[in-house]
């Protein structure tokens, strides 16, 4: 079919981003959405009130620099405000990183499967995508990624805990990797789910950032803080990199309501972390129950569990959950189940038990 307009040829190479399905609403059951790793807990006290107060004048633009939020984050993280870059979720920070590093003739290295935006962002910049398959246990293959880095490589993306498989990058793994990566190559550590991690060996991204100037952290208020609908996150980077990021982040992308909510939630981080560990305890029990049924479930460190299945079984499992008004996420090689209400997880357990009995 001929093109009517002068669009980029590279668009044909964009892998589609498929959001999590909503739950079926015609089953007679209470529907649950466990397909997008959303936080099922209610907002912390004061958060919705902060949003309402900050948005009383919707005609006014928000502070383009998120000055108050940046100051609060810098104090909480013990970094210089010049090293903090706010954005509309961690996704905007990752997009900005690809924008300041990638172009035609360059390459980006990342684990796969991992966050679905990685290949989309790389394709958008015209860079060569070098996806390195995960190890059998769902962990990053750091030796494989090192082997893919050459003089064209401008960016490496890491995900800890890895979405969708679940394991965290461990301190020893990252330190060994960073020792081998050229110092002028930027390495992004996507820590969207770091608050849920309970592995004693999980890397402390902030400590690693202080040791490696080419390491950039991408974090979000979407998951543990439960602010996904407000779209607010941040990057932590060397001041030189941070300055470049600010050049390409869209102006006013973090709304006044998002800034206020994030600041209010950040002030209650102790409560956020308690909640995250409660989710982690539920996650660990859910993962153990699935393993007891004979399913292959990697180490789970986010607010979700990965069930490794072939594509046919994954589709059938997703359909069976949908019949119980529970939406989960089928991806290549398995299904991802977000941690949600007890009733929703019990329905998934029942589906899993039926599957196990039918094997």
Model pLDDT for residues 105-145, shown as the tens digit of each residue? 999 999 999 999 999 999 999 999 999 999 999 999 999 99
Residues 194 and 294 in one domain: no
Of 222, 245, 267, the domain-final residue: 267
Tell me how far apart the alpha carbons of residues 46 and 23 are, in angstroms, rounded to a whole number.
Answer: 29
Tell me how far apart the alpha carbons of residues 211 and 207 are, in angstroms, rounded to a whole number.
Answer: 7
- Report if residue 11 sits inside a domain: no
Residues 324 and 175 in one domain: no
Q: Express each pLDDT in 31-82 by its tens digit.
A: 999 999 999 999 899 999 999 999 999 999 999 999 999 999 999 999 999 9
- Report if residue 296 sits inside a domain: yes
Q: Express each pLDDT in 273-285 by its tens digit.
A: 999 999 999 999 9
Query: Domain with 51 in it: what CATH number?
Result: 3.40.640.10
Residues 62 and 183 in one domain: yes
What residue numbers bound the domain in which 142 lies? 47-267
Q: Express each pLDDT in 220-231 by its tens digit.
A: 999 999 999 999
Q: Within its chain, how far is the Cα of 332 from the centroid?
A: 17
- Report if residue 222 sits inside a domain: yes
Query: Domain with 323 in it: what CATH number?
Result: 3.90.1150.10
Residues 180 and 328 in one domain: no
Residues 275 and 252 in one domain: no
The pLDDT of residue 286 is above 50: yes
The per-residue pLDDT for 1 is 44
pTM, full prediction: 0.94
Of 235, 267, 299, the domain-final residue: 267
Angle at 90 between CA 281 and CA 240, to 5 degrees: 130
The burial of 313, by beta-carbon neighbours within 10 Å (0-12 exposed, 13-18 middle, 19 or more buried), is given as middle
Count up the domains in the chain and report the number: 2
What are the residues whose beta carbons fall under 8 Å from the beta carbon of 270, sequence distance 6 or more? none
Q: What's the whole-number mean pLDDT along residues 180-207? A: 98
Residues 179 and 312 in one domain: no
Residues 263 and 275 in one domain: no
Residues 244 and 332 in one domain: no
Residues 216 and 294 in one domain: no
């Amino acid at each position: 079919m001929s093109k009517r307009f002068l669009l980029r040829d590279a668009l044909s190479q964009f892998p589609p981003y498929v959001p999590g399905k909503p739950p079926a609403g015609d089953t007679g059951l209470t529907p649950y959405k466990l397909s997008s790793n959303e936080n099922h807990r209610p907002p912390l006290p004061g958060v919705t009130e902060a949003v309402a107060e900050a948005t009383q004048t919707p005609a006014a633009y928000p502070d383009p620099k998120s000055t108050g939020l940046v100051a609060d984050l810098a104090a909480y993280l013990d970094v210089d405000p010049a090293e903090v870059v706010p954005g509309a979720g961690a996704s905007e920070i990752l997009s900005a990183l690809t924008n300041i590093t990638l172009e035609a003739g360059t390459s980006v290295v990342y684990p796969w499967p991992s966050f679905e935006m990685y290949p989309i962002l790389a394709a958008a910049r015209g860079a060569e995508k070098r996806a390195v398959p995960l190890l059998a246990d769902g962990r990053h293959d750091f030796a494989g990624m090192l082997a893919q880095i050459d003089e064209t490589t401008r960016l490496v993306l890491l995900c800890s805990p890895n979405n969708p498989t679940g394991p965290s990058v461990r301190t020893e793994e990252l330190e060994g990797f960073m020792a081998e990566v050229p110092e002028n190559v930027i390495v992004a550590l996507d820590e969207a789910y770091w608050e849920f991690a309970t592995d004693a060996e999980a890397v402390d991204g902030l400590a690693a950032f202080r040791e490696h100037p080419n390491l950039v952290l991408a974090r979000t208020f979407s998951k543990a803080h439960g602010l996904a609908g407000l779209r607010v996150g941040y990057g932590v980077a060397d001041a030189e990199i941070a300055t470049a990021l600010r050049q390409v982040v869209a102006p006013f992308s973090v709304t006044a309501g998002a800034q206020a909510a994030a600041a209010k939630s950040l002030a209650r981080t102790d409560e956020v972390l308690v909640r995250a560990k409660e989710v982690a305890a539920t996650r660990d029990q859910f993962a153990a129950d699935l393993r007891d049924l004979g399913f292959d479930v990697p180490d789970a460190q986010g607010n979700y569990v990965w069930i490794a299945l072939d594509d046919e079984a994954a589709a059938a499992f997703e359909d069976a959950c949908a019949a119980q008004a529970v939406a989960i996420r089928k991806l290549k090689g398995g299904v991802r189940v977000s941690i949600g209400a007890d009733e929703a997880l019990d329905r998934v357990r029942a589906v899993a038990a039926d599957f196990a009995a039918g094997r």
